[in-house]
A and B are shown apart, each in its own frame.
Chain A
Amino acid sequence: MPTVLVNGLKREIEAPSDTPLLYVLRNDLELTGPQFGCGLAQCGSCSVLLNGKEVRSCITPLSAAVGNEVTTLEGLPARWAKQKKLIGPEAAHVIHPVQEAWIDEQTPLCGFCQNGMMIKATELLESNPSPTIDQIKEAFTKSGPSPHLCRCGTYTAIIESVQRAAGIMARSKL
Chain B
Amino acid sequence: MTGTLETLAQEKQDKKVDVFGASLSRRGFVAAGGALLASFALMRSSSAQEETPAMRGIPTSKVSSDSFIEIHADNTILIRTGKSDFGQGTVFTAYRQIVADELYVPFEAITTVISGDTDRTPDGGGTFDLLNHGMPNIRKAGAYVYQAMLDVASKQLNVPKDQLSVKDGVVSGGGKSISYGDLVKGQQLNLTIPVQGDIHTMFGLVVAGNPPLKPVSQYTVVGKSFPNSAVVSKVSAKETWVTDVRLPGMLHGRVIHPKTLGSKLISAGALDKSRFPNAQVVVKGNLVGVVAPTEWEAIKASQQVASGSKWSDWEGLPVDTRLFNFLKEDADWKSVPAATSKESKGDVASVLASSPKKLKATYERPYLKHAPIGPTMAVGEVRSDGSVHVHAHTQNAQALRTQIALMLGFSPDKVTVHTYAGAGHYGRSNGGNAGAEDEAVILSQAVGKPVRVQWMRNDDLQWSTQSSCAFSEVELAVGPNGKLAGYQIDHYMPAMQDDRPVGAILAGLPTMAAPNEKGSLFGMANQPSDPWLYGATPAVLERAHGGPQVGQASSPINIGLRDHSLRTPVQYQQNFPRELAITEAAYLAGVDPLQFRINHATEKRTIAVLESARESSGWQTRSGFANGSGPIKHGQGVSLMMRGGAYWACVAQVTVDTNTSIVKVDKVTMVVDPGIVINPLQLKRQVEGGTVMGVSMTLHEELRFNESQITSSDWMSYPIATMAELPEIKVVLHHHPEVGSYSQGSEAANALAAPAIAAAFFDATGKVARRLPLKPAYVKDLLKA
Q: Do A and B come from one complex?
A: yes
Q: Would B691 and A146 count as touching, CB distance under 8 A? A: no
Contacts of A153 in B (CB 8 A): 688-693, 696, 721
The verdict on B635 contacting chain A, using a C-beta distance below 8 Å, is: no
The verdict on A159 contacting chain B, using a C-beta distance below 8 Å, is: yes
The answer to whether A110 and B87 touch (CB under 8 A), given A36-B374, A147-B724, is yes
Q: Would B244 and A32 count as touching, CB distance under 8 A? A: yes
- The tally of CB-CB contacts under 8 A between chains A and B is 176
The smallest C-beta distance from B652 to any residue of chain A, in angstroms, reads: 15
Interface of A, helix, strand, loop or mixed by DSSP: loop
Q: Would A159 and B685 count as touching, CB distance under 8 A? A: no
The smallest C-beta distance from B679 to any residue of chain A, in angstroms, reads: 9
* A108→B454 CA distance, assembly (Å): 23
Q: Would A16 and B424 count as touching, CB distance under 8 A? A: no
Q: Would A141 and B724 count as touching, CB distance under 8 A? A: yes
Partner of B714 from A23, A42, A74 at Cβ < 8 Å:
A42
- Contact string, B260-287, partner A, CB cutoff 8 A, digits 1/0? 0000000000000000000000000000
Partner of B723 from A19, A32, A74, A137 at Cβ < 8 Å:
A137
Within residues 424 to 471 of chain B, which ones have a CB less than 8 A from any CB in chain A?
Answer: 424, 426, 454, 456-457
Q: Interface-forming stretch among B153-161, B211-219, B232-240?
A: B232-240
**A32: nearest residue on chain B (CB-CB)?**
B244
Contacts of B691 in A (CB 8 A): 153
The answer to whether A45 and B374 touch (CB under 8 A), given A106-B685, A110-B86, A152-B87, is yes
Q: Would A19 and B373 count as touching, CB distance under 8 A? A: no
Contacts of B232 in A (CB 8 A): 103
* A107→B230 CA distance, assembly (Å): 11
- Contact string, A146-167, partner B, CB cutoff 8 A, digits 1/0? 1111111111111100000000
* A27→B250 CA distance, assembly (Å): 12
Q: Would A118 and B457 count as touching, CB distance under 8 A? A: no
Partner of B373 from A27, A99, A112 at Cβ < 8 Å:
A112
* A72→B377 CA distance, assembly (Å): 22
Contacts of A154 in B (CB 8 A): 685, 688-689, 692
The smallest C-beta distance from A21 to any residue of chain B, in angstroms, reads: 11
Contacts of B246 in A (CB 8 A): 27
Partner of B296 from A23, A73, A108, A146 at Cβ < 8 Å:
A23
**A109: nearest residue on chain B (CB-CB)?**
B87
The smallest C-beta distance from A88 to any residue of chain B, in angstroms, reads: 20
Contacts of A95 in B (CB 8 A): 236
The smallest C-beta distance from B427 to any residue of chain A, in angstroms, reads: 12
* A43→B423 CA distance, assembly (Å): 13
Q: Which of B87, B454, B686, B693 has the largest count of A CB atoms less than 10 A from its CB?
A: B87
- Contact string, B91-126, partner A, CB cutoff 8 A, digits 1/0? 000000000000000000000000000000000000
Contacts of B319 in A (CB 8 A): none
The verdict on B726 contacting chain A, using a C-beta distance below 8 Å, is: yes
Contacts of B239 in A (CB 8 A): 111
Contacts of A31 in B (CB 8 A): 237
Q: Would B227 and A142 count as touching, CB distance under 8 A? A: no
Contacts of B553 in A (CB 8 A): none
Q: Which of B294, B422, B689, B729 has the largest count of A CB atoms less than 10 A from its CB?
A: B689
Contacts of A140 in B (CB 8 A): 722-723
The smallest C-beta distance from B423 to any residue of chain A, in angstroms, reads: 4
Q: Would B87 and A159 count as touching, CB distance under 8 A? A: no
Q: Which of A40, A152, A158 has the largest count of B CB atoms less than 10 A from its CB?
A: A152
8 contacts between A and B (CB under 8 A): A36-B243, A36-B454, A43-B715, A103-B232, A106-B231, A111-B87, A112-B373, A151-B693
Interface residue ranges, A against B (CB under 8 Å):
15-16, 18-20, 23, 26-27, 31-33, 35-40, 42-43, 45, 72-74, 95, 99, 102-103, 106-115, 118, 136-137, 140-142, 146-159
Give 3 closest A-B pairs by Cβ, nearest first: A153-B692, A110-B424, A110-B87
